[in-house]
Structure 1
């Protein structure tokens, strides 16, 4: 029988398990509970058995976003794991610590470098969270509060307690946090301040080229039934020659929101390989900008235990700072 995560098996019949939710998993979403319980099972399959009603909570159907409570009984159907193919390149995540911006017994805030995914999956063997768990093997609980794109650097929150995770995620869902990024865009941004309120839609790239099957996002009409309202606040921080450094605050956390909203205004982020100016990106690479100029600069929230306001800032990484310095007016360096 599979390992029971934070719980005891209340019973099983015909390969079906009933799992009692432990105190440490109170408040967790059903999908995340199952992904941990059914290690190795593809995420798409986990969502499929939830939608089909094969998974039950206290004998009733439940959605993926159902919040579990201590003592809930979760019916877990038998799941056939795919045959394992030994990959000689597959290795456990290496232990790694990251620059710490704030740490206490409830949370850990780090300055994530660009080029590192926040978690494994979708062709990535491991990410920040797996490396942290290896480095802190004695830690009982480490979970991502939110996510950043792989090529985006900056402030990333990790919860060290279940209670901190649920309270912080509630703030993110309720738009009670302040998330401000620094983005360098191509061209002269026309106004000092702007609100971009345009719905976004996720889709998969069709065709047979190398981009086929990739997830992309586009702006759609306001009456599009698939559009998700997305709000981005833009403020000019500096004019840097033929570029503009922007402070970008997001009120909604949609996939690729900043990248698509800025590109939709005719000012893509420098170095953006999905929504940017591809020919310009080649020249930027030769100049030393080898990745997208997007950095999660500032994060404001209420501490999950004390309720006190917290404001964190991660300085621009050296590669981005050096590129900005080269384009800054000599009379007013960045």
Structure 2
């Protein structure tokens, strides 16, 4: 297996880095962020736009995907000294499954999966900090910051590509649980509403049902009624941003605690009861192993805060 080779390394001078097997296929911005730990993303993008970063002596763009054998010119960018504290605090998360190809963790609510959009670091950066010996750790998919549950991290590029292909083609199943406002009527309901991303005046990302959007398909199943609230299961057949949240809200049943598509009054009510998060949990994954094809069924139980709320509703509904 070919490894990344630093042809020249005398910071803060120019570095020439040769792309290895495990790095091939990465976007150039992510490739640089891994090599230039601690350097702000804005510095990386500025260096790419200005032409200071070059691939095989030519200018490049942030979305270019490096290939094995490429020579990448990295301009003088300040790197943290060896004696400086790590800019990202290492962290471990409950491991549901792990082998040489992939890692599946139970992500807590309130933790972003990656840095960006006002968040300096997330799960993937903390895992890399906690496992500095790991040659390859990449997110196979995303979870919203306030969603808890199963998150897949690829440990080999071959596994990452296979997982991306699998999810794009609808292979595997992702099952969630959500507590929603209102009495959900149907035992099983298919929601097929196209979703379109847009930005608010403040620059925040939102999603709405729109005929110009991308096709989206969610299957909702009734699990238990609690008077004015319902516990439902949600199976993703597509993986659009905020898909479950927007599909449920557009059906008149927003998720309890949802700060983007739900009610402020409901969120405040449940916060007083101790639920200071959105009640959406990725509880089950069913998929073939990305390399061996072995069928996997992985589960993560509802977090204690969610179980406590269900107990409360059971007693007061």
| Shift of residue 66, structure 1, vs aligned partner | 5.8
3-state DSSP class of the match of 1:328? Answer: helix
Query: Are residues 311 and 149 of structure 1, via their aligned partners in 2, closer, same or farther at CA, if it must alter by over 3 Å?
Result: same
Tell whether 2:254 aligns with 1:264.
no
Structure 2 unaligned blocks of 5 or more: 80-84
Count of residues paired in the alignment: 305
Q: Secondary structure at the match of 2:184?
A: coil
Corresponding residue of 1:293? 279
Cα distance in 2 for residues equivalent to 1:251 and 1:63: 33
Cα distance in 2 for partners of 1:247, 1:293 equals 12
Which residue of 2 is the match for residue 92 of structure 1? 87
- Is the 1:35–1:43 Cα contact (8 Å) retained in structure 2? no
Q: Quick one: distance in 2 between partners of 1:128 and 1:201? A: 27
Match of 2:166 among 161, 166, 171: 171
Root-mean-square deviation (CA, aligned residues, Å) is 3.3
Is 1:42 aligned with 2:41?
Answer: yes
Deviation at 1:165, TM superposition (A): 1.9
TM (norm. structure 2) is 0.83
What is the distance in 2 between the residues matched to 1:216 and 1:97?
30
Matched, 1:119 2:118: no
What is the match of residue 206 of structure 2? 216
* Match runs of 1:1-334 below 5 Å: 6-8=4-6, 20-36=18-34, 40=39, 42=41, 46=45, 67-73=65-71, 92-206=87-201, 212-220=202-210, 222=211, 224=212, 227-328=213-314
Answer yes or no: is the 8 Å Cα contact 1:239–1:328 preserved in 2: no
1:54–1:48 distance in 2 versus 1, CA, 3 Å:
closer
Using structure 1 for the length normalisation, give the TM-score.
0.79
List alignment gaps of at least 5 residues for structure 1: 85-89, 207-211
Distance change >3 Å, CA 20–CA 149, structure 1 → 2 = same
Counterpart Cα distance in 2 of 1:47 and 1:237: 50
CA separation of 1:56 and 1:235: change in aligned 2, threshold 3 A: farther
> Per-residue displacement from partner, 1:5-43 (whole Å, max 9, x unpaired)?
924559xxxx99875321121233445335445663536
Q: Secondary structure at the match of 2:174?
A: strand
Contact 1:240 1:329 in 2 (8 A): no
Partner of 2:82: none
Q: State the match for 1:209 in structure 2.
A: none
